[in-house]
Amino acid sequence: MSENAKLILFSAIEGGSKFWFSELQRLGADELLRRIIDNVYSSQRKSADRIREKILSTTSETLAEEIERCGGRFITAESEEWPIALNDLAAPPIGLIIKGKSLRNNSVSIVGTRNPTTYGARIASEFAAGFADREWCVVSGGAYGIDTHAHRGAIAAEGITVAVLGSGVSVNYPAGNERLFSEITESGSLISEVMPFEKARPERFLTRNRIIAALTKGTIIVEAAFRSGSLRTARDAAEIYRTVMAVPGPITSPTSDGCHRLIGERCAEIVTSVSDAMELLMPLAPTIDSTLRGDES
């Protein structure tokens, strides 16, 4: 597949589409690009005209310059550093933009509410630090709340953390985490499924959740409301047979309703310490080299 064609498709097609991914797999990047330009899909897909307009308004050279200018790099499934765990998804990303280091360690995701209690913030930080001490990478979404405390906990323990963003890697969203994003790239990375200067949109947070789930051996939910985006991450993880864990909270706390729901529905294992989580994750944790490259452990 042509890397340039893939880059153009990546810039124009929103992530998470099973249709466009299946067409890419069936036809290859060059042929799919040609068909979109030739208006083959205009009568089949509502998004086809918008995608075609974006494709015709740019070049692979312009896109590559934009990525290089922001200090990022574009990787695809053909790249050596591609996390092959992403291929478990029904619709893997066409590509990713990474700013920072490659994913090198076994990894776990820690996610939860944007409005945590003091208890939730402390637990997220302590869990992240505990995994960092064990040389595990902590993956989260870079948002306020539990995500921020998870990233900061890993950094405080001098560990590696990765933020999967709902915006481009050059857009500091949320703005208050600008310094955090800079600190993350020193030893970890920012990852995005959109071009560097694309703004965050609500639907992009839902599609990025599947990447958080797929990148890691398991997902830990620390405080989540009864209806929460974090529950979507948990279900995305369960669909691809990742371990899902939830930290219980006070039965009177609305911010723990989602965790209790997952535990009650047997959708998540209850964990109260990093040691609990490690017991569940260790059988699933080959070395990162074998995870990334598909080698036998």
For residue 48, the enclosing domain spans 1-69
Which run of H or E residues covers position 123? helix 118-133
Same domain, 12 and 159: no
Q: Is residue 156, in this structure, part of any structural domain at all?
A: yes
- Quick check: 124 and 94 in contact, CB under 8 A? no
Answer whether residue 293 shows pLDDT above 60. Answer: no
Same domain, 50 and 118: no
pLDDT tens for residues 68-93?
999 999 999 999 999 999 999 999 99
Same domain, 141 and 285: yes
Same domain, 278 and 189: yes
Distances (CA, A) of 151 to 11, 87, 131, 143, 164: 28, 25, 11, 10, 11
Distances (CA, A) of 24 to 20, 21, 112: 6, 5, 33
Distances (CA, A) of 100 to 93, 162, 249: 19, 9, 35
SS3 of residue 57 by DSSP: coil
Query: What pLDDT is recorded for position 252?
Result: 93
Number of domains in the chain: 2
Q: Is residue 217, in this structure, part of any structural domain at all?
A: yes
Same domain, 267 and 146: yes
pLDDT tens for residues 179-222?
999 999 999 999 999 999 999 999 999 999 999 999 999 999 99
Same domain, 221 and 285: yes
Q: Is residue 85, in this structure, part of any structural domain at all?
A: no
Same domain, 116 and 258: yes
Between CA 160 and CA 153 the distance in angstroms is: 10
- pTM beyond 0.85: the answer is yes
Distances (CA, A) of 186 to 100, 102, 145, 170: 7, 11, 21, 15
Of 13, 44, 69, which closes a domain?
Answer: 69
Of 50, 69, 88, which closes a domain?
Answer: 69
Between CA 20 and CA 207 the distance in angstroms is: 14
Q: Is residue 82, in this structure, part of any structural domain at all?
A: no
- Strand 243-247 and strand 269-270: the pairing is parallel
Query: What pLDDT is recorded for position 1?
Result: 53
Same domain, 65 and 111: no
Between CA 184 and CA 152 the distance in angstroms is: 9
Answer whether residue 25 shows pLDDT above 50. Answer: yes
Same domain, 3 and 136: no
Query: What pLDDT is recorded for position 295?
Result: 46
